[in-house]
Amino acid sequence: MSALTDGTLPTEGALPELGSVYWRPRVTDASLRRTGRIWTTITVAHTVPFVAVAGLLLVLNPVTAAVALMALAQAWIIPELYAARGANVLRSRAPVDEHAERVSVGLLGDLLDDRARDLHRATGMVLERGALGVWLIGEAGAVLVRPGGRRVHCYCVKVPAPELPTGDRVAHLLLALRTDETGFATVANLAFSGARWRLSRRLKAPVRDALAPAVAAARRIG
Amino acid sequence: MSQLIRMDSSGHTTLAEWTADDPASVEAAVAALRAELELGYFAVVSHGEGRAEQVRELPVDAPLVILRRPIAGG
């Protein structure tokens, strides 16, 4: 067994890391649609009861308005927390070493075309078109904007090597994604699936600025 | 001149350079690649947006072979 891996190599052309999550069915376009529906259902199940309770309280006794407001706040907060968890996958950290950062960003730039390179320079995110949609890749996760641009899936995935500079961390994810897109989505942990606007509200600039071109590209393939 | 590079804490390190018509340089690159694969690195050749190929033998004609570490769900 090697020093860096502990799984067996799956089929030819597949991401080798799939061996470490052998119990997961491979992500497909259909499974992503199903996952999206499940997340929507869960969100509705978390929200509707609180809204109903708030309405019922107000109808039964207006004196309970304060409690009804608390129920409404709960209905609002839970989906926001989910979206915040999704936004966290694109968080950035402070550079470790300035020289190493420059070198790593140079290598990453060699893997990108001019537009993707400019977007990375401005936002720190890499935009990559795939068969499942349009990806935004950060150093510790990726967001998949589905065709049509309305739904996003946020994935926690990273190279577990904190000493690596930012550009290398992004390049690791980019190369893995290019090698096997559905394998990449299978290895990654899903942190959030939901409406694009819910994620956008939780992203900070300049990361939010990277979402717009990804959504535009996803609309073109939708 | 083709390159074998490893992404590491310095940004990246060039481990070998070769040309297809120089057998000695190819041999050195093959040995360097095997040593890194033994350590658990994966060798990837990128073919532009949306396409990359993982390799276990040195693709002599590829201009750039990049060694990456395994990724994992966070």
- pTM value? 0.92
> Distance between alpha carbon B23 and the CA centroid of its chain, in Å?
17
Q: Can you give the residue ranges of every domain in chain B?
A: 2-59
* CB-based contact B74 A101, cutoff 8 Å: no
With a cut of 50, say whether residue A97 has pLDDT above it.
yes
d(CA B24, CA B6): 21
Render pLDDT for B5-22 as a digit per residue (tens, 0 to 9): 999 999 999 999 999 999
Distance between B16 CA and the closest CA of chain A, angstroms:
16
pLDDT-derived band at A2 (thresholds 50, 70, 90) equals: very low
Write down the pLDDT at residue A13.
Answer: 80
User: Which of A96, A161, A175 minimises the CB distance to B44?
Assistant: A175
Flag if B70 and A20 touch (Cβ within 8 Å). yes
**Residue of A8, A144, A164 to mutate, interface with B, max B Cβ within 10 Å:** A164
Q: Confirm whether the ipTM is greater than 0.90.
A: yes
Which of A1, A166, A172 has the most B C-beta neighbours within 10 Å, making it the best mutation to test the interface with B? A172
In tens, the pLDDT along A108-147 reads 999 999 999 999 999 999 999 999 999 999 999 999 999 9
CB contact (8 A) between residue A189 and residue B74: yes
User: Min CA distance, B34 vs chain A (Å)?
Assistant: 12
Q: How confident is the model at residue A62 (pLDDT cuts 50, 70, 90)?
A: confident
Query: Among A2-16, A47-61, A99-113, B52-66, which stretch is predicted with the lowest mean pLDDT?
Result: A2-16
pLDDT above 70: residue A49: yes
Please report which confidence band the pLDDT of residue B49 belongs to, taking 50, 70 and 90 as the band edges: confident
Backbone angles phi, psi at A38, to 5 degrees: -65, -45
- Residue B46 is nearest to which of A5, A111, A165, comparing CB atoms? A111
Long-range CB contacts (< 8 A, 24+ apart) of B29-33?
B29/B2, B29/B4, B29/B58, B30/B57, B30/B58, B32/B4, B33/B4, B33/B57, B33/B58, B33/B65, B33/B67
Which of A106, A102, A168, A103 shows the shortest CA–CA distance to A137?
A: A168
- Cα–Cα distance, A185 to A156 (Å, whole number): 10
Measured in angstroms, the CA of B30 and the nearest CA of chain A are apart by 18
Averaged confidence pLDDT in chain A:
92
User: What confidence score (pLDDT) does residue B50 get?
Assistant: 84
Q: Which residues of A touch B72 (CB under 8 A)?
A: 17, 20, 157-160, 187
Report the pLDDT value the prediction gives residue A11, as an integer from 0 to 100: 62
What whole-number distance in Å separates Cα of residue A212 and Cα of residue A201? Answer: 12
Q: What is the pLDDT of residue A3?
A: 43
